[in-house]
Amino acid sequence: MKTNESSLTSLISAFGRAYHSKYDAPKIFDDFIAKDLITAKEFTDISENMIQGISFFNQEIAQKYQEDPDEILKWITQVQLSPTPLARAAYCEHVFLNEAMLGLKQYVILGAGLDTFCFRHPELENSVGIFEVDHPATQELKKNRLDEANLTIPRNLHFVPMDFTKQFSYQHLIEAGFDSTKTFFSLLGVSYYLTKEEISNLIHHLFANVPSGSSIVLDYADDRLFEEKGMSNRVDNMVKMASAGGEPMKSGFTYSEIEKLLESAGLLIYEHLSPAEINDRFFSHRTDYLSAFETIHYLHAIKK
């Protein structure tokens, strides 16, 4: 991951969350703080770039709404940009908050980017330690944005700079205050960019030093990733954009493959959501463009 790409990825994700919080209803996931972590100019620039790129995404929509840029932006954001980040965040936070109610004390967010969880849940400041693990450049960007937004870093939030996709180090976590109690991990928007071997190694390392009952929520692409076009070619567009941006997507799994990978690390799948189940849970009865991506699954797995 290159420094500038790391920052851009975080900014675009924050843009999608901010757009949803401001314009969409009903809310799938209301990140009402995301808007504070991107500047007004960035929001405008990203919007304009999306609108100008509509012909890449859909010629018919480009023609139909050529006089309505707001509708073009809504279409691109809701069809291409937002569905997976919104629904996977909603799912993950629901699972984690249930775990926290049962006494969980430690949360590790891998690939945190401009995540705002701890700022939206100040009630956890005295009960849950939160460790954000990400590329050093992305964490510097975030710290600068928090400072500019006059957001005080809660005492339970710990930044752990690490390119964990290359080599995961527990020592960095321990130095930030992590201990070997039961832990919840989230790995969202990462697995597609790693090889199967890299994902397996990462999962094994994550769970080597935590006790039984520790768990993870992750999203993954299925084995149709490089074949399925998706609505308005959005899956194909996603793969092409990732490759063009220098971060090609590398892996898709059958359910059996991901189950065996997790089992080899001592994990059992507690819950698995297929694209159809994700759509039913998070996108049903909507009247806008939002719907679940055709090749993306979510799961919650627990260490035996």
pLDDT tens, position by position, 104-154? 999 999 999 999 999 999 999 999 999 999 999 999 999 999 999 999 999
What is the average per-residue pLDDT within 158-182?
94
Query: Amino acid letter at 83?
Result: P
Are 214 and 180 in contact by the 8 Å Cβ rule? The answer is no
Are 295 and 224 in contact by the 8 Å Cβ rule? The answer is yes
Among 81, 100, 121, identify where a domain stops. Answer: 81
Query: Amino acid letter at 207?
Result: F
Among 54, 81, 108, identify where a domain stops. Answer: 81
pLDDT of residue 3: 46
Same domain? For 160 and 174 the reply is yes
Q: Which domain holds residue 71?
A: 3-81
Report the distance separating Cα 217 and Cα 219, nearest Å: 7
Can you point out the beta strands (E) in the chain?
A: 106-110, 129-134, 157-161, 184-187, 215-221, 267-273, 296-303
Report the distance separating Cα 141 and Cα 42, nearest Å: 14
pLDDT of residue 149: 96
Among 23, 48, 81, identify where a domain stops. Answer: 81
Q: In whole angstroms, how far apart are CA 150 and each of 10, 110, 194, 206, 299? A: 19, 24, 35, 33, 35
Same domain? For 149 and 255 the reply is yes
pLDDT of residue 9: 78
Same domain? For 181 and 35 the reply is no
Same domain? For 73 and 91 the reply is no
Same domain? For 19 and 157 the reply is no
Cα separation of the two ends of the chain: 33
Same domain? For 246 and 266 the reply is yes
Q: Band of the pLDDT at 6, cuts 50, 70, 90?
A: low
Query: Could you read off the pLDDT of 245-281 as tens digits, one per residue?
Result: 888 999 999 999 999 999 999 999 999 999 999 999 9
pTM over 0.85: yes
pLDDT of residue 7: 64
Query: Could you read off the pLDDT of 143-169 as tens digits, one per residue?
Result: 999 999 999 999 999 999 999 988 899
Same domain? For 211 and 179 the reply is yes
Same domain? For 206 and 148 the reply is yes
